[in-house]
Structure 1
Amino acid sequence: MTDAAVRPETPAAEKSTPAGGAPTAARTAAEASESRMDVDAVTDLLLGSWGHVRRQAREMIKDPAFWRIDGQSVAEHRERVLAQLHLLVENKAVHRAFPTRFGGSDDQGGNIAGFEELVAADPSLQIKSGVQWGLFGAAIYQLGTEEHHEKWLPGAMNLEIPGAFAMTETGHGSDVAAIGTTVTYDPGTEEFVIHTPFRGAWKDYLGNAALHGKAATVFAQLITKGVNHGVHCFFVPIRDDNGAFLDGIGGEDDGVKGGLNGIDNGRLHFDQVRVPRTNLLNRYGDVAADGTYSSEISSPGRRFFTMLGTLVQGRISLDGSAAWASAIGLDIAITYGNQRRQFDSGRGTPEVVLLDYGKHQRRLLPRLATTYAEIFAHDVFLQKFDGVFSGRTDTDADREDLETLAAALKPLSTWHALDTLQEAREACGGAGFLAENRLVGLRSDLDIYATFEGDNNVLLQLVGKRLLADYARQFKGKDARALAAFAVGQTAGRLFHGAGLRRLGQTVTDFGSTARAVERGLRADQQHELLAGRVQQMVADVAGRLRAASQLSPERAAALFNENQSDLIEAARAHGELLQWEAFTDVVDQLEDPGTVQVLTWLRDLFGLHLIEKHLAWYLINGRLSTQRGAAVSSYIARLCTRLRPHAQDLVDAFGYAPEHLRAPIASGAEAQRQEEAAAYYADLEASGKAPVPEKKPAKK
């Protein structure tokens, strides 16, 4: 396949927009000189491995009963969302991950795919259902044994037992290992005593805790025979059938939040609350009647991460949900931008469609390319998750890879969603600020996704540590001669890049020709080299600076790590971006339809070059790009935007959303009707001979 970055053909638009803004550029693929992509086929690619489940979910949420109603009070919104949960149960829409003997289908990947689609209905509905079945129910299923499944899973599944997932504390969020709530075993009564010893140990931000929850899966430090065996999970009833707290349990409502106000988030605390010994969800650790602790996993650290790893689906679902929320925002903004007109050329020409402006293309099309990359990467991620949790590929290495993927991709997609929804809002002007057009509501609701299931920066630090470990693993068992050879190679590499030799070579090769710079430096293989090389060098640089840590005191070693923390997180972010680019490229490489190949290759190139432009300072400082080739990156992004502009509507139509999913009047065709009405009015006025003469007549052509 010929790479789009070196295609000699002219851009897709037949004519470029001339100075003054006259609307002569092609606005649709049908008008353009290039063949158009197969929209239905691209929809199938985007919906991914569980496309049939996504379609089922989308058909279900066409029912207005699932839609958010703007302007409701917090109390009304909460009750509406609770009623919607019962509708999900009736539609058998939330049980796919559970065993068939309980009415599920043992479909791990399909469960996540269906859950993600609920973001188009109401993110509050999505997250409250995630609390009930993806956290509370999943904790019983993944951390409990057959006895627990038989006892509590049916009630969790049919909503007879609304539940909270009590892990996060006011004083400890992402640092779960340090939570303060304790559970101490009493062998005399064969009970666990749950206690919150100080205010910072209150369980906080818990969905279902403020109002609807009857039980909670509580994470606490397990203490027996005077030994703390670390964090374990317990099933704890918290309210009676009348909604009153049980003895020893108290709580508060978190109140109005910045978004997701259909969820009753609240706080819980415990004062010497007793539960039976069998309420310990003991798949990975158990306490005998006499208080003896046992576990098949001897390492406390490995046991802790194994238990938390069983709940990784939360991060996975947030990654996909955020990507599809970005798709909704871009669908609305690009559809509106294809219809809304603003400003003429000053020569009496019709006003210009927003998406014909270069700046409008620049602000939306790279974000569209990123959203495609995220959706394609998410499907690979989801396949990995399904393989592990179905048992087909459930090894320690696979679980470690899955956790690393979750920590790498969830931050990128959730940050991107916030950025994209804000840009889409601004791109729609005042209309984007109206609640009816959904962009401000989605932006508010998704704000918390950046810290849900782990703060994004903390997650990226986990990725960075994995990258360092993999880097160090290369040298395990190597003799001094091999290490010396590697050191020489590193030195040569630094000379080659840092001293500017490669940069000088690029400048000489590219001298006098931006086109040559594009051809030689921006093709797919060069994009991959630049993106992968950045990750490799950043990890190597951090590893080199941290090498001395093993010889330092714990205090100095911690300080040294802290000095390099920001660079490590940036390396992890670069790693996630590389994974997304590779996933996008894998999809492009399997395409056959020429028009689809052409358009998606341009879009992939736009994503890759956008990443390189974003980090251009790094590439210049480290000698990876010459100044001329760096300038060519930005100029070629503009060319790609021009090429993609006629295909923009096809690209958002391929997301597969119906009007019932977007529910934004500005994306409904109403704006096009307004423009046609205005044009007809002025045409009739001109034809009538009654049109007023402008004070300043347009210049003669």
Structure 2
Amino acid sequence: RIDIDAVGVMLRGTWGETRLTAREMIKDPAFWRIDGQTVAEHRERVMGQVRLLAEHGVSRRALPREYGGLNDNGANLAGFQELVLADPSMQIKSGVQWGLFGSAVQQLGTKHHHDLWLEDIASAALPGAFAMTEIGHGSDVAAIGTTATYDPETEEFVINTPFRAAWKDYLGNAAVHGQAATVFAQLITKGVNHGVHCFFVPIRTPEGELLPGVQSEDDGVKGGLNGIDNGRLAFDHVRVPRTNLLNRYGDVAADGTYSSPIESTGRRFFTMLGALVQGRVSLDGAATVAASLGLYISLTYANQRRQFDSGAGTDEVVLLDYGKHQRRLLPRLAQNYAQYFAHDELLVKFDGVFGGTSDTPQEREDLETLAAALKPLSTWAALDTLQEAREACGGSGFMAENRLVGLRADLDIYVTFEGDNNVLLQLVGKRLLGDFAKQFKGADAATLAKFAVSQTAGKVFHGAGLRSLGQTVADFGSTARSVELGLRAEQQHELLAGRVEQMVSDVAGALRPASKLSGAEAAALFNTHQSELIEAARAHGELLQWEAFSDAVKNTADEGTRQVLTWLRDLFGLTLIEKHLAWHLINGRLSTQRAAAVSKYIDRLCARLRPHAQDLVDAFGFAPEHVRAPIASGAEQKRQDEARAHYADLAARGVAPVSEKSLKKKSERASKKA
């Protein structure tokens, strides 16, 4: 058996104590979601919960010490992620208040702004919205239509929404509670557009009345997260003081002269957006926690619920003893573990950058790329896992009280906010292409020729099936031998890493002619290969998760625990290989013999891990107050025990009715003897 407590410590990661503190806090029912509330009731409850979180000091973890904070950025996000166990609406609304609105003031503003607003933001006395997204531009922030035009006569910026597509939309706190907004707009001064900057704009009185020139609409009922008052904002020539420009990266003097410590417009834009990367980091962790709750509920239920006998007249079989049930849930459990370990590495990097111990342009770029690689994978996995968990629990899984449908609905939006997942992966893909190109910057002809030869040899080698042929000879007739020879950790890494390298290399080769094409032709060529680039980025993210899991296995001291985690890591790696099996076959990376062995060995690993399934989900460390799902509370076990005891009692007293089927069999045997 695994050391459950030790594995729990591993999963909670670097800021495990903060996670435990957050979990202890949300045992209080005041933080729990109440199913069946109206939208208005849910919104008011969640606003009250945000104020309660502030009273518990949650909002101060990331604040600078001079403002009563702890300046602990990693702890801030670790604690925030655990709130999803109580109510995702509460989690995300607190994220809007402190992780977006408050963080924009803190990260993009200067001491003047911090002195004015940080205390009221931290206490939730000043609720605010983060007004970046526009209905017409979504993820394309650089092209937003809202303008902030400087008027030197009054030393004010005029914030304006010039057309309907420039309305800010989907903003938490915008429909009801927000009194101010951090508004992203095109900064125009002296007739020059200096690109997107952020402005602090009051929008309502403390009594809830809209200020002159501010328009607001309620987004209404959504597919989930209905405890958040999402809405739209527009501005009809709203004037704010010059000093309301959050001017850490760009400023305007009284006479209208623009200045910035970052000369490049593009670099300045990405630096400002990079300062807000914590949203993506948070979602990666929160999605992982939510998925683990779904796995705890579904696997605990599967370990207790019985259905059908074995066909040999035995007791009904526990769901988790069925091979298909193991196949449905255990690979997703392996994936969830991989996400936990990868996320902790991401969180450590985030804390280093935002805490100042490793805040360099290179580290910031690496952080942005890593967050953009992992957030898509974990948020997609959360939806997939929660849906499979729901189905695996049958009708019970569809009941709101068992939480799976509510979690699935609330997490749906995670895949598109803080950056649409495919857009984020394209960002990662472009970084991979850039790194690939750097290998040859300044290379001489001999180096380039040598690379070209190796590439050609590699393509011929794989394309001709020479490696496949060698595998087939070595593996002939033995699944166990296939695994032993080619599916252990080293080979898993080779297959996963080799896939990334070849995919990036292939896309780079396909795009090489772009430098000699017109802008329109180059864009068309890129568009032709966009899907391949995104898939390469996804493969890169999967590799990162596998490597993080492998590092965790290596650092496990207890031998029994290390063995079980090795099987779980292998299950994750082989499931990734199985998912992309067609690619590995087409590119000659696997023989058909070894490819067939992948799926067979996954089945064997599932059976091997089945006795450890409950321990592996118990290691998440969820208390009953975190789970709050009757089917995972032990109630199902009591029902099953009661039913079995009932039939056992009938049999013991000799009063159990005889089945018609057994009577017929008895009659048939008698007639045969006659």
The question of whether the paired residues in 2 share the 8 Å contact of 1:354 and 1:360 is answered with yes
Question: Distance in 2 between the 1:209 and 1:316 partners?
Answer: 24
User: 1:591: Cα distance to partner?
Assistant: 1.2
Question: Distance in 2 between the 1:518 and 1:73 partners?
Answer: 55
Q: 1:376 aligns with which of 334, 338, 341?
A: 341
Is 1:67–2:27 an aligned residue pair? no
**SS of match in other structure, 1:183:** strand
Partner of 1:93: 58
Partner of 1:640: 605
Tell me the alpha carbon deviations over residues 3-24 of structure 1, each in whole angstroms, 9 at most, x when there is no partner: xxxxxxxxxxxxxxxxxxxxxx
Is 1:498–2:488 an aligned residue pair? no
Partner of 1:261: 226
Partner of 1:147: 112
Question: Distance in 1 between the 2:517 and 2:212 partners?
Answer: 51
**SS of match in other structure, 1:94:** helix
Is 1:223–2:188 an aligned residue pair? yes
Partner of 2:669: none
Question: Distance in 1 between the 2:133 and 2:256 partners?
Answer: 27
Is 1:79–2:41 an aligned residue pair? no
Tell me the alpha carbon deviations over residues 524-569 of structure 1, each in whole angstroms, 9 at most, x when there is no partner: 0000000000000000000000000000010110000000000000
Letter of the 1:237 counterpart: P
**SS of match in other structure, 1:210:** coil
Is 1:468–2:468 an aligned residue pair? no
Q: 1:423 aligns with which of 382, 388, 391?
A: 388
Gaps in structure 2 of 5+ consecutive residues: 667-674
The question of whether the paired residues in 2 share the 8 Å contact of 1:94 and 1:115 is answered with no
**SS of match in other structure, 2:136:** coil
Q: 2:619 aligns with which of 631, 646, 654?
A: 654
Question: Distance in 2 between the 1:332 and 1:242 partners?
Answer: 43
**SS of match in other structure, 1:548:** helix
Question: Distance in 1 between the 2:557 and 2:107 partners?
Answer: 42
Partner of 2:592: 627
Question: Distance in 2 between the 1:529 and 1:130 partners?
Answer: 39
**SS of match in other structure, 2:529:** helix
**SS of match in other structure, 2:228:** coil
Partner of 1:16: none
Equivalent residues in 2 for 1:241-390 (5 A)?
241-390=206-355
Partner of 1:17: none
The question of whether the paired residues in 1 share the 8 Å contact of 2:305 and 2:318 is answered with yes
The question of whether the paired residues in 1 share the 8 Å contact of 2:132 and 2:141 is answered with yes
**SS of match in other structure, 1:476:** coil
Partner of 2:562: 597
Question: Distance in 2 between the 1:345 and 1:649 partners?
Answer: 22
Number of residue pairs aligned between Structure 1 and Structure 2: 666
**SS of match in other structure, 1:264:** coil
The question of whether the paired residues in 2 share the 8 Å contact of 1:503 and 1:623 is answered with yes
Letter of the 1:556 counterpart: E
Partner of 1:176: 141
Question: Distance in 1 between the 2:110 and 2:206 partners?
Answer: 26
Question: Distance in 2 between the 1:92 and 1:591 partners?
Answer: 34
Partner of 2:577: 612
Partner of 2:524: 559
Is 1:58–2:23 an aligned residue pair? yes
Q: 2:485 aligns with which of 520, 527, 542?
A: 520
Further displaced range: 590-599 or 416-425: 590-599
Partner of 2:199: 234
Equivalent residues in 2 for 1:1-12 (5 A)?
none
Partner of 1:487: 452
Tell me the alpha carbon deviations over residues 375-399 of structure 1, each in whole angstroms, 9 at most, x when there is no partner: 1000000000000001100000000
**SS of match in other structure, 2:197:** strand
The question of whether the paired residues in 2 share the 8 Å contact of 1:685 and 1:691 is answered with yes
Gaps in structure 1 of 5+ consecutive residues: 1-35
Question: Distance in 2 between the 1:71 and 1:560 partners?
Answer: 51
Letter of the 2:370 counterpart: L
Letter of the 1:693 counterpart: V
Letter of the 2:419 counterpart: G
Question: Distance in 2 between the 1:433 and 1:512 partners?
Answer: 45
Equivalent residues in 2 for 1:23-172 (5 A)?
36-172=1-137
User: 1:306: Cα distance to partner?
Assistant: 0.2
User: 1:299: Cα distance to partner?
Assistant: 0.2
User: 1:513: Cα distance to partner?
Assistant: 1.8
The question of whether the paired residues in 1 share the 8 Å contact of 2:303 and 2:318 is answered with yes
Question: Distance in 1 between the 2:554 and 2:203 partners?
Answer: 54
**SS of match in other structure, 2:184:** strand
User: 1:348: Cα distance to partner?
Assistant: 2.0
Question: Distance in 1 between the 2:177 and 2:21 partners?
Answer: 28
Question: Distance in 2 between the 1:620 and 1:346 partners?
Answer: 39
The question of whether the paired residues in 1 share the 8 Å contact of 2:64 and 2:71 is answered with yes
The question of whether the paired residues in 2 share the 8 Å contact of 1:220 and 1:232 is answered with yes
Question: Distance in 1 between the 2:260 and 2:465 partners?
Answer: 56
Is 1:409–2:382 an aligned residue pair? no
Give the fraction of aligned pairs with identical amino acids, expressed as a percent: 77
Partner of 2:397: 432
User: 1:275: Cα distance to partner?
Assistant: 0.3
Partner of 1:394: 359
The question of whether the paired residues in 2 share the 8 Å contact of 1:145 and 1:282 is answered with yes
Letter of the 1:614 counterpart: K
Question: Distance in 2 between the 1:241 and 1:529 partners?
Answer: 60
What TM-score does the superposition give when structure 1 sets the normalisation length? Answer: 0.94
Tell me the alpha carbon deviations over residues 483-518 of structure 1, each in whole angstroms, 9 at most, x when there is no partner: 011000000000111111111111111112221111
Partner of 1:10: none
Question: Distance in 1 between the 2:206 and 2:27 partners?
Answer: 33
Partner of 2:671: none
Question: Distance in 2 between the 1:221 and 1:129 partners?
Answer: 27
The question of whether the paired residues in 1 share the 8 Å contact of 2:59 and 2:123 is answered with no
**SS of match in other structure, 2:660:** coil
Partner of 2:653: 688
Letter of the 2:609 counterpart: L
Tell me the alpha carbon deviations over residues 236-277 of structure 1, each in whole angstroms, 9 at most, x when there is no partner: 000012211100001100000000000000000000000000
Question: Distance in 2 between the 1:697 and 1:413 partners?
Answer: 52
Question: Distance in 2 between the 1:585 and 1:592 partners?
Answer: 14
Question: Distance in 1 between the 2:155 and 2:191 partners?
Answer: 15
Question: Distance in 2 between the 1:234 and 1:280 partners?
Answer: 5
**SS of match in other structure, 2:306:** coil
The question of whether the paired residues in 2 share the 8 Å contact of 1:546 and 1:561 is answered with yes
**SS of match in other structure, 2:33:** coil
Question: Distance in 1 between the 2:62 and 2:230 partners?
Answer: 25
Question: Distance in 2 between the 1:207 and 1:95 partners?
Answer: 20
**SS of match in other structure, 1:49:** coil
Question: Distance in 1 between the 2:130 and 2:653 partners?
Answer: 70
**RMSD of aligned residue pairs (Cα, Å):** 1.0
Is 1:585–2:550 an aligned residue pair? yes
